[in-house]
Amino acid sequence: MSVSETDSEVSARLEFEQAQRSEGWKLLRGLLRDQRRNLVIGGLIGVTWASFKVAIPQVTKFAINDGIEKNGPLLKWSLIIIGLGVMTGILSGFRRYVAFRESRWAETLLREKLFSHVLGLNIGYHDKAQTGQLMSRASSDLMQIQAFIVMIPITMSNIIQIFAVAAILFITDPVLAIVAMAPLPFVNISARRFSNRIHPISIAVQAEQAQLANVVEESVSGVRVVKGFGAEQVQFDKLEKEADDIFREAMKASKIRSNFLPAIDVLPALGAVGVLGVGGHRVLSGQLSIGDLVAFNVYLTLLVWPLRNIGMIVALGQRAASALVRIHEVLSTNSEITDPTVARDLPSQNGRQLGAVRFDHVQFGYDAERPVLRNFNLDIAAGESIAIVGATASGKSTVARLLLRFYDTDNGHVFLDGVDVRKLKLRELRQQIGVVFEDTVLFNDTVTNNISFAKPDAAQTDLERAAKLAGAHDFILQLPNGYDTVIGERGFSLSGGQRQRIAIARAIISDPRVLVLDDATSAVDPSKEGEIRDAMRTVMSGRTTIVIAHRPGTIALASRVVFIDDQAVAAIGKHEELVATNARYREVLASMQQAKSDTAKAAV
């Protein structure tokens, strides 16, 4: 909150926050609608449990008065109490089970909802979103919500318990009831204040721990620098500072704990002292029985936990509310790229070659102020292969992204086989385009599942055909478990070239009309580039292919070169022609060459 905020700004902000919160609660209500029945059952179990629980001291009192003092039937009383014990035991188990199960279920469903929603959001959203942020929505925020939901049935029974106990105490002896219960509201207040005060400190402790982790992480990852320069002491000093920070915050937390927890423990005891003093005198003057006095003490202990819990649930509710607001924010974001209301179909084969691509007066920028492409026109015939060449950040890769409809053009149209891509179902469009991304992304899964990713129901023969075309079959057979080898970040580690070829196999398995190769050879050992290029050449034949060239060697794969400069198509033609006629092309080529390989210089 800034200091200079005016009253009207404050009220506007509060109003906004209020509106946000009510949206958040609406989300929770909607979420719990299907589980309403179980939650009510949980609540009823809790209420029944609470009434049994409250009955026990009452029965104990009768047992003492009637059974022990008046020589009544002890066995009967004893069995009644044990019977009540069986009931409370069973009911408390069920209450717990229902509360946890339902809260976990709600958490599970909400996580799935969040995941599917995020996965459907347009790429523009993902460009801006931070993975860490989304992850914490789906983990720690959901945890806060779960912690709140689990308290719902418990709170219901707690409230009943408090009222029942209070009623019994007042019926037995109103004066003594007031004495006994006077300190109790403070238990509730303290519990709530404690929870609110300790929360920011625990977050601060976590933040300091994260900073210490950073120092450790960089010291370990950068160990060659540390060792190479003998910088151990420098890093140690940094770590010591972080360790001291953690210590300082932990001491703050300890102070808050010492301020509240012993007080919360002791407050009910003050009531008990009052009961002994005031109650004792009332027994002496004959206004109260001893049994009642004992029961009073027992009842007091029955109030402590419910009051503490209610204090906690208020704080938990506040945290859950902010978590809900954050989750609602994600869920209420709509994808900017969606299926058309009335979708058209792509034309079918009919003996013609398919895969014609046309960009018609396209204008596009990642932010509207700065267009990357302006008046961009390009016709790619079916079956043709073209290489897109341009300086860094000239919009080469953007062309492919527009074709995939990762983004929509600001102006102009993109056509696949004569149909505006916006008129197609996203699924149909994207299934017809096979992409190999610049950074080869593989999943932590088997080779089979990685290749058949685009076509989960692919037969083994299709799979192997794609792998063979991509020049991957042979090395896959060499892997420890062949096609069943788990690869990816946590699996068997492949070389850049091998990853590349698996990505190519994935791109062609569903036999797409258009193939986009965002030249990833930059991640490949120079001596292996030739092999990749061979694989590319094979899969390109007879298929519309757009090669986005980041290094000169790849250009040769295509029959025509499209040279992008100054936000539009600057020239189209054969590589040699362009080299001969276009000075700017030579310049860009040279900068690519200079950056990507000084070998070329040496070789020419």
Partner 1 sequence: MWQSGGVSDEDRLSRAQARTILGRVLKMAAPFRKMIYLSFACVMVTTTTTLSAPVIVRYGIDAGIRAGDVDALNLSVVLYLVVVSFTYVFGRLLFVFVNRTGESFLRVLRLAVFRQMQRQSMAFFDRNKAGVLVARMTADIESMSELVQFGLLQFLSATLMLIFAIIVLLFLSWQLTLVALIVMPVLVLASIKFQRDSNKAYLTVRERVGTNLSALQEGITTVRVIQAYAQEEEAIRKFKISNRSLFASHEKSVRISTWYFALIEFSGVLASGLMIGIGGWFVHRGTVTLGTVVAFVLLLSSLFDPVQQLSQLYNTVQSAGAALNKLFAILDAKPEVDEHHAAVDLPQTGELKVSDVSFTYVGADSPALRGVSIKVGVGEKLALVGPTGAGKSTLAKLMARLYDPQTGSVEFGGVNLKMATMPSLRERIAVVPQEGFLFNGSIRDNLRIARADATDADIEAAIDAIGATDHFAQFSDGLDTQVRERGSRLSAGERQLVALARAALVDPAVLVLDEATSNLDPGTEAEVEHALERLMAGRTVIVVAHRLSTVQRADHIAVVVDAKIAEYGSHSELLARNGHYAELARAWQKSHAPS
Q: Which residues 297-316 are close enough to bind partner 1 by CB under 8 A?
A: 297-298, 301
User: Which one of the spans 74-82, 319-327, 366-374, 468-476 is the region binding partner 1 (CB under 8 A)?
Assistant: 74-82
The residues in 430-489 that bind partner 1, with binding defined as CB under 8 A, are 430-431, 433, 435, 437, 441, 443-444, 453-454, 456
Between 404 and 536, CB nearer to partner 1 = 404
Q: How far is CA 438 from CA 272, 432, 435, 479, in A?
A: 73, 19, 9, 24
Query: Shortest distance, CB of residue 6 to partner 1, whole angstroms?
Result: 33
Name the percent of the chain in helix, strand, coil, to the closest 5: 70, 10, 20
Query: Shortest distance, CB of residue 157 to partner 1, whole angstroms?
Result: 13
Q: What is the C-alpha to C-alpha distance for residues 291 and 559, in angstroms, rounded to an integer?
A: 101
Q: What is the C-alpha to C-alpha distance for residues 284 and 110, in angstroms, rounded to an integer?
A: 60
The residues in 83-112 that bind partner 1, with binding defined as CB under 8 A, are 84-86, 88-90, 92-94, 96-97, 100-101, 104-105, 108, 111-112
Residue 178 touches partner 1, criterion: CB under 8 A = no
- Burial of residue 194 (number of CB atoms within 10 Å: 0-12, 13-18, 19+): buried
Residue 272 touches partner 1, criterion: CB under 8 A = yes
Q: What is the C-alpha to C-alpha distance for residues 604 and 553, in angstroms, rounded to an integer?
A: 14
C-alpha Rg value of the chain to the nearest Å: 36
Query: Shortest distance, CB of residue 109 to partner 1, whole angstroms?
Result: 9
The residues in 311-340 that bind partner 1, with binding defined as CB under 8 A, are none
3-state secondary structure at position 196: helix
Between 21 and 455, CB nearer to partner 1 = 455
Query: Shortest distance, CB of residue 15 to partner 1, whole angstroms?
Result: 33
Give yes or no for a contact between 329 and 24, defined as CB atoms under 8 angstroms apart. no
Residue 116 touches partner 1, criterion: CB under 8 A = yes
Between 370 and 490, CB nearer to partner 1 = 490
Q: Which value, to the nearest 10 degrees, does the dihedral of the CA atoms of residues 486, 492, 498, 503 take?
A: 40
Between 105 and 170, CB nearer to partner 1 = 105
Q: Which residues in 410-491 belong to E strands, given as ranges?
A: 411-416, 419-420, 433-436, 445-446, 486-487
Between 14 and 178, CB nearer to partner 1 = 178
501: tokens are 């070829």
Report the residue count for the chain.
604
User: Which one of the spans 119-127, 458-466, 537-545, 562-570 is the region binding partner 1 (CB under 8 A)?
Assistant: 119-127
Q: What is the C-alpha to C-alpha distance for residues 271 and 177, in angstroms, rounded to an integer?
A: 9
Candidate residues 193, 197, 257, 465; the one interacting with partner 1 per rule CB under 8 A: 257
Taking alpha carbons only, the member of 537, 588, 193, 177 closest to residue 393 is 588
User: Which one of the spans 34-42, 113-121, 320-328, 467-475 is the region binding partner 1 (CB under 8 A)?
Assistant: 113-121
User: Which one of the spans 208-216, 310-318, 348-356, 478-486 is the region binding partner 1 (CB under 8 A)?
Assistant: 208-216
Taking alpha carbons only, the member of 359, 387, 423 closest to residue 518 is 387
Residue 74 touches partner 1, criterion: CB under 8 A = yes
The residues in 229-248 that bind partner 1, with binding defined as CB under 8 A, are 229-236, 239-240, 243-244, 246-247
405: tokens are 């409809």
Give yes or no for a contact between 429 and 510, defined as CB atoms under 8 angstroms apart. no
Residue 196 touches partner 1, criterion: CB under 8 A = no
Residue 379 touches partner 1, criterion: CB under 8 A = no
Query: Shortest distance, CB of residue 474 to partner 1, whole angstroms?
Result: 20
Q: What is the C-alpha to C-alpha distance for residues 473 and 236, in angstroms, rounded to an integer?
A: 50
Between 431 and 538, CB nearer to partner 1 = 431
Contacts with partner 1 by CB under 8 A: the residue count is 154
Residue 35 touches partner 1, criterion: CB under 8 A = no
Residue 79 touches partner 1, criterion: CB under 8 A = yes
Candidate residues 169, 180, 184, 293; the one interacting with partner 1 per rule CB under 8 A: 293
Between 403 and 570, CB nearer to partner 1 = 403
Per-position DSSP letters for 533-600, written without gaps between them: HHHHHHHHTTSEEEEE-SSHHHHTTSSEEEEEETTEEEEEE-HHHHHHH-HHHHHHHHHHHHHH-HHH
The residues in 380-439 that bind partner 1, with binding defined as CB under 8 A, are 392, 404, 406, 426-427, 429-431, 433, 435, 437
Candidate residues 26, 281, 352, 361; the one interacting with partner 1 per rule CB under 8 A: 281
Between 17 and 598, CB nearer to partner 1 = 598
Query: Shortest distance, CB of residue 533 to partner 1, whole angstroms?
Result: 9
Q: At a CB cut-off of 8 Å and minimum separation 6, what does 343 contact?
A: 423, 424, 425, 428
